[in-house]
């Protein structure tokens, strides 16, 4: 147990947040592994296709906007579209991970502050 039997309600609350954040981080890491496996599989598929002869891609005229070129990049290739989707998912997962890490770090600081000698004597508040 992280706290003793005489822990304050605030200390117990912070301990709960720490444990919940750790659990969330475990789930995030599983999701990251799945997304990375999907990206690796798509990369292998792309390597196999690269070995087969294909027509040269058409170059967009300079007047087209960069955004339109980006949209056209995966238009005819489902693997590129799937790769873009997997990378987007990985970005979301990483953002979620950063939030969980921040939540855990704040709770750890507060948990440690509750245990400080100044708080134990009642002068730290």
The pLDDT assigned to 38 comes to: 86
Q: How many CB atoms lie within 10 A of CB 37?
A: 11
In a domain, 1, yes or no: no
Whether residue 125 is contained in a domain is answered as no
Q: For residue 37, is it within any domain?
A: yes
Q: What pLDDT, on the 0 to 100 scale, is given for residue 106?
A: 97
Note the pLDDT of residue 60: 46
Is 2 a domain residue?
A: no
Residue 4 lies in a domain: no
**pLDDT of the chain along its 125 residues, tens only?**
567 677 788 999 999 999 999 999 999 999 999 989 888 888 777 666 655 554 544 444 444 454 455 555 555 677 778 888 888 899 999 999 999 999 999 999 999 998 776 665 554 44
Q: What is the pLDDT of residue 52?
A: 56
pLDDT for the residue numbered 98: 96
pLDDT value for 58: 45
Do the domain assignments include residue 45? yes
Domain that holds residue 95: 9-53+66-120
Q: SS3 string of the chain? A: CCCCCCCCHHHHHHHHHHHHHHHHHHHHHHHHHHHHHHHHHHHHHHHHHHHCCCCCCCCCCCCCCHHHHHHHHCCCCHHHHHHHHHHHHHHHHHHHHHHHHHHHHHHHHHHHHHHCHHHHCCCCC
Q: Is residue 61 part of a domain?
A: no
What confidence score (pLDDT) does residue 45 get?
Answer: 74
Residue 88 falls inside a structural domain: yes
Domain count for the chain: 1
Share the mean pLDDT of the chain: 77
């Amino acid at each position: 147990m992280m706290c003793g039997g005489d822990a304050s309600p605030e200390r117990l609350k912070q301990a709960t947040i720490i444990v919940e954040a750790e659990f969330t981080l475990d789930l995030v890491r599983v999701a990251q592994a799945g997304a990375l496996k999907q990206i690796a599989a798509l990369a292998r598929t792309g390597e196999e296709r690269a070995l087969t002869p294909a027509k040269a891609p058409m170059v967009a005229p300079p007047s087209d906007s960069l955004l339109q070129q980006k949209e056209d990049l995966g238009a005819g290739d489902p693997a590129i579209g799937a790769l873009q989707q997997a990378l987007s998912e990985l970005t979301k997962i990483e953002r979620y991970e950063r939030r969980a890490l921040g939540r855990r770090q704040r709770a750890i600081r507060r948990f440690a502050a509750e245990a400080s000698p100044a708080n134990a004597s009642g002068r730290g508040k």
